[in-house]
Structures are given as C-alpha cells and as structure tokens.
Amino acid sequence: MSPSLHTTDIRPTQFFITSINVDLLETSRRQVEYVELRVGSRTLAVRHVPIPSKSLSETFIPGIEVSDDEQCLVSVHCCHRVIGIIGINKKTVVDLSFAPQDIALSPNAISGKRTLRLAEGKLQVVVSASETLYRPETGKLIPFSDSILRTCPRFRLLIMGKDGVGKSSLIGRAFKIRSLRFYEACQRQDGIDTELIFQENDKVVLHNSRNPVPGTSNNVEAFLARRRSMPDLKDRVHAVWLCLAIPRANEPLFDEDTKKFIERRRQILGDIPLVIVFTKLDLVVGGIEYEAFGNGEDPEAWYLEERLRNELEKSCIQPLQRLAGTDIPNVAISVQEGYESTIEQLLEVTAGKVDKYVANEAAMAALMAQRASISLKLSNSISAGKKRHWRGLASGSKFLGYTLKDCLDVIHTEIVSCWNFEDPNRYLVSDQFKTLMLNVVANTDTRDFPDSDVEDVGFGLAVASAIIGIRGTAVRVVLPITANIMLVGWAHDLYQYSGTASSQCIAYIVDLTAIMQILFLLMPQGHMTIPTIKLAITAYSMAGINEVHSRIRDHYENPHNVLALGGRDHTLEMIVQLIKETSIKSEELASLRAGLGDLGKLQRDDPRYGWDDGDD
C-alpha cells in the first residue's frame, strides 16, 4: 500500500463508539470486574458487573464521540482467586489502547458501522463504532415522567356521596382546585360521564356522582362497566372515593342505595379500589370537646383522642365492618385547618391501593396530581428518580454523548413534573430558572448569605427563619439574584464519567428538590410567580446549601470514595440521605406557614418584577 493511499484511507474522521464487548476464554482463571474507557483525557465509562464474570458488554446510546487526535484506552479490571490462599483475590488490569485510525482501518461493516478487535492472551475486546451519531428520538433524553404521563396522563377518580357531604371541599383540598363549583354546575346537567378536568391542575380527571343509585339508566354501575371495558389505563377509573358524613346523634351511616352499592362492590368495581371517606371529622371533634368542657371537665388531649376513637369506631367503623367485613379501606377526614394529616392519609391509602390493584403508573399519576401532602410529593419524587435517571449517574452510560446540561435538563423536568405546581407561565421549566439552578449548583454566588444552623434547628425551621429574615429587611421580595449564563459554561461540556460530573448531578437533584419543598411551603394556594421562586432559592442558599455542598465535596474528595466510583448504590444512597436531611415534614408545615405571615403578595405576578430585576 503506497503512503499516499494510506493517508487517504485514514483521513481525519469522527467516530462514535457504540459498544464495547469484553470476553475472557473459559480456560482463563480471571473474571472481569469492571471496564473503563478513556478517550483522550476523558474517562468515559466505568461499568461494574454485579458479580465478576467472563464477559461484559456495554452499549452507548448515543455513541461516544472520538475525534481523530484522541488516543483511546480500554482498561479491563480483572480478578482471580489465588489458589491455596482462601479468600484472597488478585487484581490485574489489562490496558488495550487504540487510535481512531485503527477504527478507520478496521473492516467496514454494513451501513457505516465498524468493529475493532483487540486481544491480549485469553482476553478479547470488541469495540464497535459508527460514523454517524445515533440519538434516540429527537436527540433528547426522555424524562421518566413523560413515559408515565404517556401511559397515564391523569389520575381518574370517581367521587360519590350525597349532596353537601363535602365532596367539592375535599377535591379542592386534595388537588388545590378552586374552580370546582363552576365545573360541577356544568356537570350536573351532563351526568357522571362528564370528565372534569381543571385548568389549575390538569393531572386529575374527576367523575362526580351524588349518590350510588343502582338500577337507573345513567347510573354509576353502567358508567363503571363502560370504563372497565376500556383497553387503555388512562381511560379506566383508577379509584373511587365514597364520601359518607360521620353520623351525629344515632343517625344511620348508610342509606339503602349506598348499602346495596357496598354489598355489590365486587361485581360493580372489579379491581378498582374503593375507599370510604368519612367527612367533617372536625365537627365530631368539636362536639366531643363541647360536651367535655360543657360538663366542666378539663380533659387532657389523650382523653379526647380516645373519646374520638371510640366515637368513630361506634358510628362508622363497626357499621361498615358489619356490612362489608374488614377489607374496605376507610379514612376519616376534615378539610379544616389542623386536619391536613387526614387528607394526607387518604391520599396515601388511595395511592397504595391503586399501586397494588390498578397500576404503578396510575398510582404515580395520583401522587403527581395531589397537592396536599409534602411528604408524599417528596417520596414520589425520590421513587421516580430512583427508577430512572438517578441510576444513570452512577454507571454513567445513559448520559454519555450528552452534555451535562442535557442530563441536568432531564433531571430537572422529572423533578418539576413530580411536584406539579400550578405554573401557567411555565416558570419552573424556563431557561431562566434552569440557569439560576446551575448557578445554585455551582455555588457561584459569592455574596455572603448569613448561615443558619440547620443541624440544630432542622431544615424546615432554618428555611422559615431565612424567609422571615429576607422578607423583614427587603423592601420587596425581588432578590438580587440573576441568571448568569457566563458562570455556567461548565454545563455545556460533554458528560463524562467523573467525580465532578457526578457530584454536580447530585447537587442539582438535592438542591432542586429542596427548592421544590420551599415552594410548596410558600404556595398554600395560587400559581407560581418569579418572586416566589427567587425567594425560595435565596432561602435555600441561606438554610441548606452549604451543608449539602460541603457533604458532597467531602464525599468526592475522599480517595476511598473516588476509588468506589461507579458504585451506583452509593450515589443513590447519598442522594436519598441528603434529601432526607433537607426535608420539610408534613407535620411541621402548618406551623412553619403560620410563622411566615401573609404570603399573598408573593402570589401576585407583578410584571415589574422579572427574572433579571435586582433589588431596590
């Protein structure tokens, strides 16, 4: 081959490595533990096998870009038992290097795909590469929340109960829907088939029935039969809440129609979970207190609680069990202040049953739709993250070929959609907010925020006192934080499997989740505004960021942890641990909010205060 021809053959070309396959011959004593791929100065993939084995294969979608001047190295980390010495594993590393020219010279397979074989002793490595980059779908990483929402875009709930029992109030509380009465008025004319979808929260679709009236033409039974026969999960009814007022003064719990419905529930509902909701619990509590204090007693809390338990047992639970046994879940609730935990319990029980009897996607849709419980939001956000992209952080393979910004974008979308805030202007998915988040993660704001002592007081209190401090001194709540794109150039580099990228992703997840919780605290009602977002970010910068970031830094600066890179469970454990430490608990929410005073102003979107405004 003449030199000139040779040069033509290996003209500078770009390749994308699409897979690596490692095989050890059966006669080898060694096993593969993990493989590292280095391209130029980038360490790109560390793939661990759960149990050392003779082979390992890893696919990269999209491929890993290699330019013509980058030297590549595959390091295969092996182990083998040293014969005679029980329990000692000897480790060896086999390095196999290659240049892009080797790929160019390798046999050209079908449609621009090439394979390069490398071997040493009983070890063989096959590197597959492509001349074109394959990116899935539109070239974006697909958020897990998208796939849930495609299968089950809304939680479909049928709510039943007599007039005035408290259905609308409950829906308003659980899903933060204000316009309910208007929709119901429309629905009254159309009946149970009308899908009630609300502008403020479109993750729930409601069917409303005043009473179970079996036997009539447009009744619950026929409606449920129609819906049960629908093939798609999104069209089926995912749960039924049957609301019953807690009886007062020896009233019966059920009327005849309700009794019949409960007795025939298995035929009517099939697997659809039914939850009995005993409403207006506060009235019963009020009655017990009135009676006790009226008798001149000064009862202690435990005594009142016991009276309440007995009362509920006698008037609700026993009659229900006599009719239907013990297998129908039931929750007593009130929509009044101070009873938030009862709505949380109802949502938790419902989601649990939907997960068990309907589908996990429907349960996740229910938890996305609900806006009453911060704890359920948090746990749902963690479990959604665990299922998908947080895992990618550890093995790195899912993110290779994308920029760090692409990876953070998909994580951002997943977390924000789990929290399902009312955000008609889409501030929470705007580029400005994302840039602010990158600034938070990079911790580039050099102004000295006073530090509060999270360890002593807990995250919730630290956040609340930060908010009080900020609002006390500021003329208005627009804060001098601006989205500085210059500072976040790092995010546009290609994702690499490294401690830095991993720690930035972890920080992003923990920071954003903390900010979502602060927004939950700040938004008892109304829709998202820019001042609210800025206030949440600043409060977090004062209350939690230093602790979180220094913990992550310490973790990655510890050489022991760096060696363990790729241990996916370590990454997940660390994220979950940090999120737990920066969490606001359901039970403290009401008192924290009470301390914050009037939040009304925050909820008004003032066009004068945009993303780039500084303070007065």
* 156 versus 167: smaller Cβ distance to Mg ion: 167
Across 197-228, b (16+ Cβ under 10 Å) vs e yields: ebebbebbbbbbbbbbbeeeeebbbbbbeebe
| Strands (DSSP E) found in 395-436 | none
Residue 74 contacts residue 57 (beta carbons within 8 Å): no
**Does 166 engage in binding with ligand GTP (CB under 6 A)?**
yes
Q: If contact means CB under 5 to 8 A according to the sort of partner, which of Mg ion, ligand GTP, none does residue 401 touch?
A: none
Partner whose binding site includes residue 28, from Mg ion, ligand GTP, none (CB under 5 to 8 Å by kind): none
Part in contact with Mg ion (CB under 5 A); list of ranges 82-90, 115-123, 178-186, 309-317: 178-186
Residue 503 binds: one of ligand GTP, Mg ion, none (C-beta under 5 to 8 A by kind):
none
- Residue 312's alpha-carbon distances to 169, 247, 285, 325, 373, in angstroms, are 21, 9, 10, 16, 24
- Complex with ligand GTP: residue 55 or 218, whichever CB lies closer: 218
Measured at the alpha carbon of residue 80, what is the angle toward residues 77 and 81, in degrees to the nearest 5? 150
Closest among 616, 611, 475, 419 to 531, alpha carbons compared: 611
Judged by DSSP in three states, 456 sits in: helix
Q: Using the rule CB under 5 A, which residue among 128, 168, 417, 465 binds Mg ion?
A: 168
Q: Is 169 in the site for ligand GTP (CB under 6 A)?
A: yes
Give the whole-angstrom CA distance, residue 92 versus residue 78: 5
Element (H, E) at 536: helix 530-543
Q: Return the beta strands (E) in 375-467 as ranges.
A: none
First to last CA, the chain: 74
C-alpha 17/C-alpha 24 separation (Å) is: 21
279 binds, among ligand GTP, Mg ion, none (CB under 5 to 8 A by kind): ligand GTP
Give yes or no for residue 312 binding ligand GTP (CB under 6 A).
Answer: no
Q: What does 237 bind: Mg ion, ligand GTP, none (CB cut-off 5 to 8 Å by kind)?
A: none
From the list Mg ion, ligand GTP, none, pick the one residue 210 interacts with, judged by a Cβ distance below 5 to 8 Å according to partner type.
ligand GTP
Give 151 or 194: the residue with its C-beta nearer to ligand GTP: 194
- Please state the closest distance from residue 358 (CB atom) to ligand GTP, in A: 25
Give me the DSSP letters along 121-178: TTEEEEEEEESS---STTSSPPPHHHHHHHH-SSEEEEEEE-TTSSHHHHHHHHHT-S
Binding segment toward ligand GTP, per CB under 6 A, in 278-286, 320-328, 481-489, 593-601: 278-286
Q: Which stretch binds ligand GTP (CB under 6 A): 87-95, 163-171, 371-379, 532-540?
A: 163-171
Residue 513 touching Mg ion (CB under 5 A): no
Q: Does 30 bind ligand GTP (CB under 6 A)?
A: no
Alpha helices in 15-159 (DSSP H): 100-105, 144-151
The total number of residues shown for the chain amounts to: 616
Q: In the numeric block, which tokens belong to residue 73? A: 């190295």
Q: Which of 409, 406, 484 is nearest to 439 (CA)?
A: 484
Which listed range, 14-22, 274-282, 517-525, 608-616, lies at the site for ligand GTP (CB under 6 A)?
Answer: 274-282
Kindly tell me which of 279 and 504 has the beta carbon lying closer to ligand GTP.
Answer: 279
Nearer to ligand GTP, 166 or 401 (CB): 166
Residues 183 to 222: which contact Mg ion by CB under 5 A? 184
Whether residue 555 contacts residue 561, with contact meaning beta carbons closer than 8 Å, is answered with yes
Contact criterion met (CB below 8 Å) for 519 and 371: no
Question: Of the ranges 277-285, 366-374, 432-440, 595-603, which one interacts with ligand GTP (CB under 6 A)?
Answer: 277-285
What is the number of the residue whose Cβ is closest to Mg ion? 168
Q: Which stretch binds ligand GTP (CB under 6 A): 108-116, 165-173, 390-398, 418-426?
A: 165-173
Packed helices 404-419 and 374-387: angle between N→C axes, nearest 10 degrees: 140
Stretch 97-126 residues interacting with ligand GTP (CB under 6 A) = none
* Omega within 30 of 0 (cis) for the link into 62: yes
Q: Which span (158-166, 266-274, 391-399, 427-435) binds ligand GTP, by CB under 6 A?
A: 158-166
- Min. distance of Cβ 420 from Mg ion in angstroms? 23
Name the region of 148 (left: φ>0; alpha: ψ -120 to 50; beta: rest): alpha
Residues 128, 145, 168, 201: which binds ligand GTP (CB under 6 A)?
A: 168
From residue 282, alpha-carbon distances to 41, 276, 287, 479, 504 in Å are 65, 17, 8, 41, 47
**600 CB neighbour count, 10 Å cutoff:** 10
Indicate which single residue of 23, 184, 200, 355 sits in contact with ligand GTP (rule: CB under 6 A): 184
Selected from 112, 136, 164, 252, the binder of ligand GTP by CB under 6 A is 164
2: helix, strand or coil: coil
User: From the CB of 180, what's the least distance to Mg ion, in Å?
Assistant: 7
The tokens describing 169, both together, are 């109030």
d(CA 107, CA 113) in angstroms, rounded, equals 9
Q: Which is nearer to ligand GTP, 194 or 546 (CB)?
A: 194
Minimum CB distance to Mg ion, residue 169 (Å): 8
For ligand GTP, which is the closer residue by CB, 205 or 481? 205
**Residue at 317: amino acid letter:** I
**Binding status of residue 185 toward ligand GTP by CB under 6 A:** no
Residue nearer to ligand GTP on the CB measure, 126 or 283: 283
The residue among 198 and 497 lying less far from Mg ion, judged by its C-beta, is: 198
Residue 350 near ligand GTP by CB under 6 A: no
Say whether residue 128 binds ligand GTP (CB under 6 A): no
Plot region of 84 (φ>0 → left; ψ -120 to 50 → alpha; else → beta): left
Among ligand GTP, Mg ion, none, partner that 555 touches (CB below 5 to 8 angstroms by kind): none
Q: Is 167 in the site for ligand GTP (CB under 6 A)?
A: yes
- Judged by CB under 6 A, does residue 280 bind ligand GTP? yes
Using the minimum distance from each CB to Mg ion, give the nearer residue, 168 or 496.
Answer: 168
Q: Among residues 277 and 408, whose Cβ is nearest to ligand GTP? A: 277
Helix (H, G, I), strand (E, B) or coil at 205: strand
Residue 210 as a binder of ligand GTP (CB under 6 A): the answer is yes
Which runs of E-coded beta strand occur in 235-392?
239-245, 274-279, 330-332
Per-residue tokens: 115: 């394979």
| Integer Cα distance of 541 and 533 in angstroms | 12
**DSSP state for residue 217 in the 8-state scheme:** T
Residue 283 in the binding site for ligand GTP (CB under 6 A): yes
Print the binding letters for residues 313-342 with ligand GTP: x by CB under 6 A, - otherwise. ---------------------xxx------
Q: Exactly one of 279, 380, 397, 532 binds ligand GTP (CB under 6 A); which one?
A: 279
Per CB under 6 A, residues contacting ligand GTP are 161, 163-169, 184, 210, 279-280, 282-283, 334-336
Per CB under 5 A, residues contacting Mg ion are 167-168, 184
